Structure 1
Amino acid sequence: MSGIGEIIFSGGWIGLAILLLLFALSVSAAYLVFDQIMTLRHNEILPEGVSDAVRQALLTGRIPEADAACRRSPSVLSFVLLNGIAEMDFGWREVEKAVEDGLADQSARLMRKIEYLSVIGNIAPMVGLLGTVTGMIFAFQQVAGSQGAAGAGDLAEGIYQALVTTVGGLIVAIPSLAAYAVFRNRVDTLIAEAAYQAQHALAPIKRRQGRPAKPGSASPPRTVTPQQVVASPPTKPVKSVKPPPAPPAAKRPGNPPPPPREPS
């Protein structure tokens, strides 16, 4: 313990403050890693049996039962399926859009905490670099104060602070960035599987809407009742228009007719 205490307090108050900040970042990273291990379990994201239960209910037209199956097991998959079921009356395109929106929303929700691991992994080396810079400033200050006659003992404290904080920053940053990469790939895999299961569960909606109409389902011919005939206004008779008489034919020129004979 004495060796660890020497390392912690060797950099003075500035080094101690930087190490405490790195310790806080490491505790936060450890909490986030444990939280994501519990959150990104397969059964938490994709409960077993929900997809099949919803599909069977939709095949038989039992929409309330499909809705209840989703609500019994709250999860990412259930949220996405509920979005699709809510839009089934507006056509398959709206169902697909609702599923895509639900997947995007849940993916962003899962990535929100994982992004903090990336932030910690990027900040920790900068904090360690801050300790490195302050340590080197302290070391060169000793050299300047002694007018170039500073010995190794005078420079040791500043160099010690510079190295300790740098190592501390790397110790925090490397596991944080590694955990971020692993959890991000895990989220991508689970979201892709959720999309596949949602398409499989909601396929009966597409099949039902794409089914052609049966020959016997055509609407019957419209019949006119006597009441509708009485209620209809009478139609006016159409007067027939006689064609105009043809003009008399012109007489052709020729011999004049013979005169009438006188009675004998």
Structure 2
Amino acid sequence: MQAVTDTLSQITDTASRAAQQLATAPPPELRFGDLLLKGGWVMLPLGILAILALVIFFERYFTIRKAAKNESQLMQQVRGSVLSGNLDSAIAICRNSNTPLGRMLQKGLLRIGRPIKDIEGAIENIGKLEVAKLEKNIGILGIVAGIAPMFGFLGTIAGVITIFYNISLTDNISMGAISGGLYQKMITSAAGLLVGIMAYVFYHVLNMMVDKVILKLETDAIEFIDLLEEPSK
């Protein structure tokens, strides 16, 4: 009888220690990957939008950066050829440069002999086309910045509706039942805001880069027109 009592006591003590360990055990850590999986189906379109924004940003960034490189050497070569009367050489230099400024100057050189206003108009039209090429797909980043947070909020609202629908079925309105599902659904809102902020920053960074390129092209175009007017002064 004593042995049975001792055994029961040991079992009780073991169960008590196990309960204390469980009670004092730290809560499981929230891992980033687990959070993304708990976000639900909305995380798929948000992931696609994030990848789209990154691809457009880096593709446009390197394209605009290439167009923004210093073209002072090109201007010097064109100036030397024009002043020496060798227009064919100047046109060849512009063609081989394969840059927005080179194409603008080439169009102007091909119009030499016509009134200055016609040359300015031709250069301006080519400049608009080159700027449009640089701005290609940048507007998509603005769209992503607008709709990504909406997708996030949509996922959260859909999750909240599901939570309260389940509560109506089970009649369980405990705080744990509500908060346990709600924190998972808030993940979509956070992800949507993150993607939206990223796309918003990318959009404005690229626009600022394009503005700098436009200013540089306009400055070089004015310098070119002044060069053509020099012989007539």
TM-score per shorter chain, which class? 0.7 to 0.9
Map residues 140-151 of structure 1 onto 2, 5 A cutoff: 140-147=164-171, 149-151=172-174
Map residues 101-180 of structure 1 onto 2, 5 A cutoff: 101-147=125-171, 149-156=172-179, 158-180=181-203
Greater CA radius of gyration, 1 or 2? 1
Corresponding residue to 1:9 among 16, 20, 37: 37
Structure 2 unaligned segments of length 5 or more: list them: 1-28
Map residues 181-220 of structure 1 onto 2, 5 A cutoff: 181-208=204-231, 210-211=232-233
Q: Which has the higher contact order (CA 8 A, sep 6+)?
A: 2
- Paired residue type of 2:188: T
RMSD over aligned Cα, in angstroms?
Answer: 2.2
User: Distance between the aligned counterparts of 1:93 and 1:199, measured in 2?
Assistant: 12
- Alignment-derived partner of residue 53 in structure 2: 29
State the identity %.
27
| Count of paired positions | 205
Say which structure is richer in helix.
2
Q: Does 1:98 align with 2:122?
A: yes
User: Distance between the aligned counterparts of 2:211 and 2:104, measured in 1?
Assistant: 15
Secondary structure at the residue paired with 1:61? coil
User: Distance between the aligned counterparts of 2:81 and 2:101, measured in 1?
Assistant: 16
Structure 1 residue 83, shift from structure 2 partner:
1.8
User: Distance between the aligned counterparts of 1:159 and 1:96, measured in 2?
Assistant: 62
Give TM-score, length-normalised by structure 1.
0.70
Query: Once the two structures are superposed, what CA deviation does each residue of 1:99-128 show, in whole Å capped at 9, x if it has no partner?
Result: 111111111111122222212111211111
| Aligned structure 1 segments of 4 or more residues deviating by more than 6 angstroms | none
Corresponding residue to 2:73 among 41, 45, 49: 49
Structure 1 residue 64, shift from structure 2 partner:
0.4
- Paired residue type of 1:179: F
Query: Conserved in 1, the CA contact under 8 Å of 2:159 and 2:182?
Result: yes
Structure 1 residue 79, shift from structure 2 partner:
1.3
Structure 1 residue 145, shift from structure 2 partner:
1.9
User: Distance between the aligned counterparts of 1:109 and 1:157, measured in 2?
Assistant: 49
